[in-house]
Amino acid sequence: MFGENNMEDTVYILAIESSCDETAAAVVRNGREVLSNVIYSQVPLHTLYGGVVPEIASRKHIEKINQVIEKALADAHLTLRDITAIAVTYGPGLVGALLVGVSAAKAISFATGIPLVGVHHINGHISANYIEHPELEPPFVCLVASGGHSHLVVVRDYGQYEILGITRDDAAGEAFDKVARAIGLGYPGGPKIDQLAKQGNPEAIPFPRAKVAENAYDFSFSGLKSAVLNYLNGCQMKGEEICQADVAASFQKAVVDVLVEHSLSAVQACGYGKFAIAGGVASNSALRAAFEQACAARGITFYHPSPILCTDNAAMIGAAGYYEYMRGVRHGLDLNAVPNLRLEEVNAPCD
Ligand code: KG4
Ligand code: ZN
């Protein structure tokens, strides 16, 4: 029978992720051990257009999804007969892109009877921390900073989140991408700013660090983005040369300062002594270094996934999917892509 492997206590999750521009599949054993992690990145394709083109992303996902799933099973030396459950990202993300992964997962589940578990993308990002830190268990505080989200959350239990702060406007990664475009670095912006900033002076330009009056844990990055654009316009009007590296380093420092300050005050207020980061921006070298230092100085244990597990991948969906499966979450073939799925909806009681 499919979905009933012989090894009693072993749960093999086949995970699928296609929410944006990576077509990814992975096999994860017992939530923490990655047996395979296949990522087909569409970055070179979208670079031509300076950003992700949703229609092109969906088409490419369709072309690649079966190959990626087959390779994930082959790399893990398993077949569908060994798989306990299929976990798939069903939101948030680009609707056409999500639909490809959801349809593939539903088709496999329908054909084999293997249980289907829909996973929230951000639950996946946070759960990437479980993969390389076997000792990490909730509760802890986590900062999620990606292209679409900036959330500061308390992880009460596996898949159980209390949101302390969110961004009021742009996500941190979105700010990186927009500023990179403005200074002529192109797409993908985050990694390019990260590299260039190493040669710049982070104190060169005093960009603002926004505070949100109503909630000290909320973020706002649109003012910072406008400040960079104003600075660039001002230089242009005065005929002054722009030092790209200084702009990159000063902008990055402003983002890092805000993320670190908000996160550490949340960690100290919660008193767990454990802090994790997640999402594409969590691979930023200056952010990681700043958190290493700040956490060490305060006796806080700092967790972060390897860069490849920070940006979109399916292993993280396998980790989250395992804990969802274990708490009884099962989805039917009516599972649909939900482009604006809220993190609060992860906590919904199981049927
Ligand atoms: O988590 P992710 O792969 O996709 C989303 O769920 O959005 O995050 C992508 C975001 C992009 O905005 C990208 O510019 C940013 O993460 N990013 C970085 C770095 N690597 C990726 N931002 C800053 N520094 C990096 N090294
Ligand atoms: Zn993501």
Specify if 342 maps to a domain. yes
Query: Do residue 141 and residue 238 come from a single domain?
Result: yes
Query: Do residue 272 and residue 335 come from a single domain?
Result: no
Q: What is the CATH number of the domain that holds 84?
A: 3.30.420.40
Specify if 1 maps to a domain. no
Average confidence score pLDDT of the chain: 95
Specify if 351 maps to a domain. no
Query: Do residue 66 and residue 172 come from a single domain?
Result: no
Query: Do residue 296 and residue 314 come from a single domain?
Result: no
Query: Do residue 20 and residue 155 come from a single domain?
Result: no
Answer for the pair 119, 99: CB distance below 8 angstroms, yes or no.
Answer: no
**Cα–Cα distances in Å, from 296 out to 139, 154, 274, 299?**
19, 20, 11, 5
Specify if 114 maps to a domain. yes
pTM, entire model: 0.95
Specify if 2 maps to a domain. no
pLDDT value of position 3: 58
pLDDT in tens, 108-129: 999 999 999 999 999 999 999 9
Specify if 272 maps to a domain. yes
Query: Do residue 143 and residue 284 come from a single domain?
Result: yes
pLDDT value of position 190: 96
Query: With bands split at pLDDT 50, 70 and 90, how would you rate the model's confidence at 6?
Result: very low
In the predicted model, is pLDDT for residue 346 greater than 90?
no
Query: With bands split at pLDDT 50, 70 and 90, how would you rate the model's confidence at 48?
Result: confident
* Across 182-200, average pLDDT: 95
pLDDT in tens, 80-94: 999 999 999 999 999
From 274, 289, 305, the end of a domain falls on: 305
Specify if 242 maps to a domain. yes
In the predicted model, is pLDDT for residue 351 greater than 50?
no
In the predicted model, is pLDDT for residue 184 greater than 90?
yes
Query: Do residue 191 and residue 276 come from a single domain?
Result: yes
Query: Do residue 250 and residue 284 come from a single domain?
Result: yes
pLDDT in tens, 240-286: 999 999 999 999 999 999 999 999 999 999 999 999 999 999 999 99
Query: Do residue 288 and residue 224 come from a single domain?
Result: yes
Count of structural domains, the chain = 2
In the predicted model, is pLDDT for residue 1 greater than 70?
no
Question: For residues 321 and 18, what is the distance between their CA atoms, to the nearest angstrom?
Answer: 15
Query: Do residue 169 and residue 269 come from a single domain?
Result: yes
Query: Do residue 156 and residue 274 come from a single domain?
Result: yes
Atom 7 (ligand 1) nearest CA = 147
Q: Which domain holds residue 60?
A: 7-128+310-346
Taking CB atoms and a 6 Å cutoff, what residues make up the pocket around ligand 1?
Answer: 20, 146-148, 173, 176-177, 188-191, 194, 279-281, 283-284, 311-312
Query: Do residue 96 and residue 41 come from a single domain?
Result: yes
Pocket test for ligand 1, best of 311, 317, 340 (most atoms within 8 A of CB): 311
Query: Which residues, chain by chain, have CB under 5 Å from ion ligand 2?
Result: 146, 312
pLDDT in tens, 279-334: 999 999 999 999 999 999 999 999 999 999 999 999 999 999 999 999 999 999 99
Question: Sign (positive/negative) of CA torsion 126, 128, 130, 136?
Answer: negative
Other Cβ atoms within 10 Å of 9 Cβ, number: 5
